[in-house]
Amino acid sequence: MSKYWSKLAAGLDPYVPGEQLKDKKYIKLNTNENPYPPSPKVIEALKTAANESLKLYPDPTGDELKITLAEYYGLDKKQVFLGNGSDEVLAFSFMAFFNPEDDILFPDITYSFYPVYANIFKINYKAVPLNDDFSIPIEHFFNSDGGVIIPNPNAPTARAISRENIEEILNYNKEKVVIIDEAYVDFGAESVVGLIDKYPNLLVIQTLSKSRSLAGLRVGYAFGHEALIDGLNRVKDSINSYTLDRLALVGAAAAVKDDEYFQTTRKKIIATRENVVSRLEGLGFNVISSKSNFIFISHSKVKAEEIFIKLKEESVLVRYFKKPRIDNYLRVSIGNDEEMDELIKALNKII
């Protein structure tokens, strides 16, 4: 605490990302990164773009990337917003669509950045309790005062919600913005990007960090009706004219264009997940049904925190949240098959 901090800064409770330990070599299953490298075409495009033009500002509108994304998803470029990672897109969305005095709704167990955004932008919220099986009680998201935000699949539970259920929530919140955070959608959940023309209150947020193997490039985006995208641009242009650098713009477009690579790697991750789920169940783990590149697991006999600590000793990093209702669960990112073998080997020792 410093006398120089604003009241806002003093009142913050910042988000803490997964550990990035450097003391030894770990099998890193704690930040939901993709085990596969980005498409070789991305690397090639980045090397080419690393040139003298970096002396010039990027295109502040990112038009080329918007056009690439719009073509890929069957949208108009005016329905696309770009940001420095989906976290920035989320932050700007809280500013653009939610009013402090109206309670917004999100699940009680969800991406832990949501309450942080609500806090910094002074947005009131109600955390809606998930059902005991971590499924989403749809009807509790109807008729919100201020808007709704739900990840699909949810994090850290990995459970997905159906398109029909999302349509119900949209229909019961026609005057408010409903944000579906699809950071992990490419690993098996149903995207609602196709519903954008139908629902002017729908904002879909995605990222290249997970399914396109580009956590290190920081590119996220939102899709929605033009009026919603305009609202986001108003916020962005009041904070930072150029949120995406020249390299990120070029690398992102190359990633979206290489659909074959994307399909191959995401399917590999899904296959690895299905395989590891059955092996974990064999070890006595309860695994929440996952449509994501991570799984949420608990063991019938050994406490999650104990497993977390022992896995770290075995050089395997997973994520443990010491929070009500989920303090006996671990979130484990899906690595490649070899990494999952190491996980199982380590767990065999521990359990």
Q: Give every CB contact of residue 104 below 8 A, 6+ residues apart in sequence.
A: 98, 118, 123, 124, 125, 126, 144, 145, 146, 147, 148, 149
Among 176, 266, 273, 319, binds a copy of itself (CB under 8 A): 176
In angstroms, the CA 173 to CA 146 distance is 9
Segment interacting with a copy of itself, rule: CB under 8 A, options 71-79, 130-138, 148-156, 235-243: 235-243
The nearer residue to a copy of itself, 9 or 271, going by C-beta atoms, is 9
Burial class (CB in 10 A: 0-12, 13-18, 19+), 202: buried
Among 131, 143, 171, 238, binds a copy of itself (CB under 8 A): 238
Least distance between a copy of itself and beta carbon 52 (Å): 4
Segment interacting with a copy of itself, rule: CB under 8 A, options 236-244, 277-285, 287-295, 326-334: 236-244
Instruction: State yes or no: residue 191 binds a copy of itself (CB under 8 A).
Output: no
The nearer residue to a copy of itself, 118 or 304, going by C-beta atoms, is 118
Instruction: State yes or no: residue 175 binds a copy of itself (CB under 8 A).
Output: yes
Task: Give the pair of three-digit tokens for residue 135.
Answer: 């499924």
Instruction: State yes or no: residue 120 binds a copy of itself (CB under 8 A).
Output: yes
Residues between 197 and 216 with contacts to a copy of itself, criterion CB under 8 A = 200-201, 209, 213-216
Least distance between a copy of itself and beta carbon 287 (Å): 24
Segment interacting with a copy of itself, rule: CB under 8 A, options 232-240, 294-302, 305-313, 337-345: 232-240
Residues between 275 and 334 with contacts to a copy of itself, criterion CB under 8 A = none
Binding mask 29-58 for a copy of itself (x = CB under 8 A): --x-xxxxxx---xx--xx--xxxxxxxxx
Least distance between a copy of itself and beta carbon 319 (Å): 13
Among 12, 21, 271, 309, binds a copy of itself (CB under 8 A): 12
Least distance between a copy of itself and beta carbon 35 (Å): 8
Contact assessment for residue 169 and residue 194, using Cβ atoms and an 8 Å cutoff:
no
Instruction: State yes or no: residue 3 binds a copy of itself (CB under 8 A).
Output: yes
The nearer residue to a copy of itself, 37 or 284, going by C-beta atoms, is 37
Least distance between a copy of itself and beta carbon 300 (Å): 33
Least distance between a copy of itself and beta carbon 130 (Å): 24
Least distance between a copy of itself and beta carbon 6 (Å): 5
